[in-house]
Amino acid sequence: MSSYLCAIGTANPPHRIPQLQIADFMASALELDEAGTRKLRALYRVSGIGQRYTVLPDYGRPPGEFEFFPNTPGLEPFPGVGQRMTQYRQHALPLSVQAVKNCLAQLPEVEIASITHLITVSCTGMYAPGLDIELVAALGLPGNVQRTCVNFMGCYAAVNALKLADAFCRSTPGARVLVVCTELCTLHFQKSHEDDHLVSNALFGDGAAAVLVQSQPATTGPSLALAGFHCGLEPEGHTDMAWHINDFGFEMTLSSYVPRMIQQGIGQLTRQLLQDLPVQLADIRSFAIHPGGRKILEAIEQALGLTAHDNRFAYHVLREYGNMSSATVLYVLRELMRTLTPADAGEPVLSFAFGPGLTLEAMLLTVAYEVNAKNVDGIVSVEKVKDVAVPSS
């Protein structure tokens, strides 16, 4: 039995701030001198990001007009974890609901009462009773829907959620799994001159993505069969990408060595993913790579022999939204799915995401259309690619 990603919905907060305007906010908040401001703006210019979305309008406002941060020199007293979590509780639910409605609007055949499982994903806020329970009430989900929370795993967490969804669909006939990734990264701005914090402040934005996974393709449009997963660890990067809760929010460590470590490990990760599947890297023309940053995308291209065109969906998401942690790779898959046609049925899609550990997650998906469902056995419709098929598990 196979499982299929049938639709992806997304949602962003209303505040869309140009990247260089955020740089000006940061320079003022960090009280940088003229030379420091030039260096910071240069960092933001080369980030590959044009704009980001945030639940906090302060990033686009001049000092003296802030709503969340204090209107004082140096933003003192700097907001603590409690204040940031209050904002998370206020904004996470409506953003999540918007993403779910966007997802299910693409699947008119799916009734909300037919959802059997709910998986919520976030690393930027936690509370209990949590977002999962609030979504049950807000969406009118059945009270007996099976709920699972994937918390604090970072940017690769959506892949773990899809693994769970795949397992639920394979073990429970008729399962319909709703996955909701909601990240409010901009709540965790750190007023620090450390390089790791300067880079993190330059990358992350807010967004939510919702996915429906079930045991058959959608009746209209493309679906993506979940064909295989593989997780790798690079212990050398244990301290180079990390995520800690401290007094003034959640602190991201993101060192300049991360792209090099991903470049060293991505080839082996790909080989291990594909070794038990009848697909070679040379067979793959579609990629959905988590845009952790421009340098990470370039490092993967060098390691796997890809072009910027191969990575176009990731660059688009990075430019338009920045890095939204776990939701980001789903935005990339959404952009890819928008380009698919029935002629692509059976085509493999290779996807990666990365996070603390240093963790490298890989998954293989294949394009499926309901018209080809009778030919789908495992990962692919043999109508399109006759030499790629995986036995039903």
The torsion of the CA quartet 323, 55, 211, 270, rounded to 10 degrees, works out to 10
- Given CA atoms 224, 229, 233, 239 in this order, what sign does their dihedral have? positive
| Catalytic residue (one of 6, 103, 155, 185) | 155
SS3 175: coil
Instruction: Assign 3-class secondary structure to 329-371.
Output: HHHHHHHHHCCCCHHHCCCEEEEEEEECCCEEEEEEEEEEEHH
181 is catalytic: no
Whether omega for the bond prior to residue 129 falls within 30 degrees of 0, making it cis, is yes
List, as one string, the DSSP characters of 107-135: -TT--GGG--EEEEEESS---SS-HHHHH
| Cα 331 from Cα 285, distance rounded (Å) | 18
* Residues assigned a catalytic role: 155
